[in-house]
Structure 1
């Protein structure tokens, strides 16, 4: 029992470091939170968490190995994901010209369901997530661990995603952060849009 608790603690510790590292997920949540789309940011957080958990289930059950061997499929998914990130980046750039004060945004900009789908697409279209789980579980999870340990890892990973990005949303939704966005919203949109596009280009370039 103690050894499996150690496995869970070690695995989730590495997972937490990966979740907190900068990447397209952080850029997406930051943009939504800063722009005042709090419901969309919460939806995107849940979407990211569900997509990551889906890949974690594939990995922990061994199905991801079969998927990763279909090279053309993984390449197609990665290129499509890169294109989607570039689209989000371009959308942020174009929208920067029409940045509105936080209190004047419409409901369509702040839709939880739309944010959830965006989060799901962003994470599912990045097959590098599978590579991460393969590497993580290969190093930290011994063969033959119990079912409850696997369930604890899946549940813990989901909660880490939600808690971390939830914290980001809370911090970037504070009055000082909103005031900064009201003053420099156009430049913030452009910086985050550029970051999303760069992540997308990197994904595509790795497969071309």
Structure 2
């Protein structure tokens, strides 16, 4: 394994700009954090990080290039992503004011870990913009003669950095003042996040 510090720095910078940009990952972590609590949000963050490994795996073996240059395959991925975001958005739009008041704090924070993990994994794994990002990353930023072990190292770094970022987002959005405000007006936030996810789906289809 031969790690180039310059290449690694370029990858880290490109990734940082991409990961802090508003998108489906951020929206779903924010929703999980405020609606379900810290633990489910952390599992969702880990799911998003694991979704990165999916993009890394097919980028390393050139599958991302096949997806990007095969119209029907890329369109299928795009439609699946849009449908999933719309489903999440419609579910959020149906949030009711009584949904939080009828539950105890213990019930609100209780969540099956693999469901929260799965939401994060699917949100990131189905995002066609992530496919294009990793295609650009592995063709432009990473030299073509880079060996498999080094590419894998870069990929694992990207997954860990993504998971760490969204875990951080989960923590900072779980301050007591924010949680208390959400408990009073949470249904409006859910509906807003639902609208954001639907708009993102429309943008995907339009683009």
Same fold by TM-score, threshold 0.5 exceeded? Answer: yes
Query: What is the aligned partner in structure 1 of residue 125 from structure 2?
Result: 124
Query: What is the aligned partner in structure 2 of residue 48 from structure 1?
Result: 48
Deviations 1:61-116 (A, max 9, x none): 22222233332122112112111111111111112443305744637962221011
Q: Is the 8 A contact 1:41 1:112 kept in 2?
A: no
Query: What is the aligned partner in structure 2 of residue 87 from structure 1?
Result: 87
Q: Is the 8 A contact 2:36 2:109 kept in 1?
A: no
Question: Are 1:110 and 2:82 counterparts?
Answer: no
Query: What is the aligned partner in structure 2 of residue 143 from structure 1?
Result: 144
Give the CA deviation at 1:190: 1.3
- TM-score when normalising by structure 2: 0.89
Query: What is the aligned partner in structure 1 of residue 57 from structure 2?
Result: 57
- TM-score when normalising by structure 1: 0.89
Q: Is the 8 A contact 2:77 2:126 kept in 1?
A: yes
Q: Is the 8 A contact 1:48 1:120 kept in 2?
A: yes
Question: Are 1:75 and 2:87 counterparts?
Answer: no
Q: Is the 8 A contact 1:78 1:126 kept in 2?
A: yes
Alignment of 1:17-32 (within 5 A): 17-32=17-32
Q: Distance in 2 between matches of 1:5 and 1:111?
A: 40
CA RMSD of aligned residues (A): 2.2
Give the CA deviation at 1:16: 1.4
Query: What is the aligned partner in structure 1 of residue 170 from structure 2?
Result: 169
Q: Is the 8 A contact 1:78 1:127 kept in 2?
A: yes
After the TM superposition, which parts of structure 1 deviate over 4 Å for at least 4 consecutive aligned residues?
none
Deviation larger for 130-139 or 154-163: 130-139
Q: Distance in 1 between matches of 2:151 and 2:3?
A: 14
Q: Distance in 1 between matches of 2:63 and 2:77?
A: 17
Q: Is the 8 A contact 2:40 2:109 kept in 1?
A: no
The alignment covers a number of residue pairs equal to 206
Q: Is the 8 A contact 2:37 2:174 kept in 1?
A: no
Q: Distance in 2 between matches of 1:139 and 1:68?
A: 15
Q: Is the 8 A contact 1:81 1:200 kept in 2?
A: yes
Task: Structure 2: state its 5+ residue gaps.
Answer: none
Alpha carbons of 1:14 and 1:182: their partners in 2 closer, same or farther (altered >3 Å)? same
Question: Are 1:9 and 2:9 counterparts?
Answer: yes
Q: Distance in 1 between matches of 2:128 and 2:188?
A: 30
